[in-house]
């Protein structure tokens, strides 16, 4: 861990929701990629003498699927997908964040989807805080991780006529946080 990088963060940083994103994607029908994002996302990076801590949440209802409406309804509310009436949020809390020289990072924590919490390891990059034109300190984290959706009870599946699955089990997560000290 880079002590210089860790000490460059001080206080609390909130995600600038206009410049942050939480995306998920999976191979679809054996040929393409299905990608979506969650629009209602919050995140907070806290820095103190004990280190860095990242916490975040995404509202399931904010998934960006518009058409067809019955598909969106199934993904958001179906028991074999997110089951939003019983589990309206996805949450994350870090256990450890390691900043490395050169701007890379490793993060471990706990991801909760549909009331099930699993360990998560993400890698990515960070940018040290700098002052924006309005006098605010800004930083950014870019994180990538892969989860098996079955571990969270998202177990819908259909077989393709020629073999294989309609939607792969592995989901690629990509989180970009532009953070503002507040």
150-170 pLDDT, tens per residue? 999 999 999 989 888 898 999
Tell me the pLDDT of the chain averaged across its residues.
90
pLDDT exceeds cutoff 60 at 71: yes
pLDDT at 56: 96
Quote the tokens at residue 116: 């099930």
Q: Residue 2: its pLDDT value, please?
A: 46
Q: Taking residues 52-57, report their average pLDDT.
A: 95
pLDDT at 143: 97
Predicted confidence band at 65 (pLDDT cuts at 50, 70, 90)?
confident
For the record, the structure tokens of 100 come out as 């490395």
Q: What are the tokens at 76?
A: 């958001």
b/e map of 131-159 (b: 16 or more CB within 10 Å)?
eeeeeebbbbbbbebebebeebbbeeeee
Query: Which helix or strand (DSSP H or E) is residue 143 part of?
Result: strand 137-148
Dihedral sign of CA atoms 49, 54, 55, 56 in order: positive
Which pLDDT does position 85 carry in this prediction?
A: 95
- Per-residue confidence (pLDDT) for residue 3, from 0 to 100: 46
118 is written with which tokens? 């699993």
Question: Of 3, 39, 2, 8, whose CA–CA distance to 24 is shortest?
Answer: 39
Would you say residue 126 has pLDDT above 50?
yes
Which residues, at least 6 apart from 101, have a Cβ–Cβ distance to it below 8 Å?
A: 2, 5
Terminal alpha carbon distance of the chain? 25
Q: What average pLDDT does the segment 10-36 reach?
A: 89
Q: What homologous superfamily is domain 3-181 in, according to CATH?
A: Lipid/polyisoprenoid-binding, YceI-like (2.40.128.110)
For the chain, the domains span 3-181
């Amino acid at each position: 861990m880079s002590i210089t990088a860790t000490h460059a963060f001080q206080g609390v940083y909130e995600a600038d929701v206009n410049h942050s994103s939480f995306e998920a994607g999976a191979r679809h029908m054996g040929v393409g990629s299905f990608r979506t994002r969650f629009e209602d996302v919050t995140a907070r990076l806290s820095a103190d003498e004990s280190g860095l801590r990242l916490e975040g949440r995404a509202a399931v209802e904010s998934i960006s699927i518009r058409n067809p409406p019955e598909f969106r309804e199934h993904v958001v509310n179906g028991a074999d997908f997110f089951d939003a009436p019983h589990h309206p949020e996805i949450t994350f809390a870090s256990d450890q964040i390691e900043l490395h020289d050169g701007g890379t990072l490793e993060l471990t924590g706990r991801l909760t989807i549909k009331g099930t919490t699993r360990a998560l390891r993400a890698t990515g990059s960070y940018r040290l805080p700098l002052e924006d034109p309005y006098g605010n300190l800004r930083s950014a984290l870019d994180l990538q991780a892969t989860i098996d959706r079955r571990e969270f009870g998202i177990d819908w599946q259909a077989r393709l006529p020629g073999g294989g699955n309609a939607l792969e089990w592995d989901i690629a997560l990509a989180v970009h946080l532009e953070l503002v000290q507040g």
